[in-house]
Chains A and B, each alone.
Chain A
């Protein structure tokens, strides 16, 4: 029985690698490859209303992949939280951080929050978007968490925010599926004026949701690491 299962698994792997290398070996000419990029570049302004072509690909043309990435990140955060909670004992440790470090970190935090918010809100206009913006906001939280021991961190609020953000992402996709459009994550909002903040349909909404989710997840991860034994 075990031999049979291993043979089946081996055959599956061989088939997988054969198809994979087969796809790699078949040469597609360079003009064909670049034509996809040129096609997207020529269509993106009219179809998605996004000034940043990369964002239009990440959020709309390949929006389902982004949902998958967010899910992977969620699973990683969940794993770390579970693993750290196993030995968790809420510790009250006082590190002697210097006054300058504490005050500096508290001074820096609002600016990092603002910068992360800017990166998220302008994801469809300038480089950046939900993932880097969320990481920048989470880094602001880390600095405060690392330097000031007395800061209370509301973990329930973070979990609720994370779940709501994930549900909103899927909800936006479903509205596109069952609403005016006919596919998952179809744009259903007006495109607006090109190259302004309130434009590009659902792209800023999805990036805002992704940013909230990433920031909440990563803050929870570092808080779990910090508080665990």
Chain B
């Protein structure tokens, strides 16, 4: 149990560091979603299912949608400025 949790935490750390070095901003958003999902799995394993379901719904779904919309908006503005 402890080994599984430490493995998950290490993966989460690695993904979190990878977010900084990824060039494409959309990939960074998807990676932050992965961090949220792993966090919700950890919450489930340490017997906090209420927190886990909230983390999965808000961190993985809602935040991603808001970021994707924001990226979409800014990209449209950039292309129109260039033209």
Contact size range, A = 20 to 34
B1 proximity list for chain A (CB < 8 A): none
State in angstroms the CA–CA spacing of A142 and B70 once bound together. 14
The answer on a CB contact under 8 Å between A127 and B49 is yes
B50 near A128: Cβ-Cβ < 8 Å: yes
A163 touches B (CB below 8 Å): no
B: number of interface residues (CB 8 Å): 16
B60–chain A nearest beta-carbon distance, Å: 9
Is the CB of A208 closer than 8 A to any CB of chain B?
A: no
| Contact bitstring B38-54, A, C-beta under 8 A = 1, else 0 | 00000000000110111
Consensus secondary structure, chain B interface: helix
**Min CB–CB distance B40 → chain A (angstroms):** 11
CA–CA, A184 and B43, complex, Å: 32
Please state if A139 and B69 are interface contacts (CB–CB under 8 Å).
Answer: no
Give min CB distance, A55 to chain B, whole Å: 8
**B54's contact among A132, A139, A221, A226, by CB below 8 Å, is which?**
A132
- Nearest-neighbor residue (CB-CB) of B76 within chain A: A93
CB–CB A225/B70 < 8 A = yes
Contact partners of B68 in chain A: CB under 8 A: 146
B58 at the A interface (CB under 8 A): yes
CB distance from A214 to the nearest CB of B (A): 10
Q: Closest B residue to A128 by CB, please name it.
A: B53
A229–B54 alpha-carbon span in the complex (Å): 31
> Which B residues form the contact surface with A (CB < 8 A)?
49-50, 52-54, 56-58, 61-62, 65-66, 68-70, 73
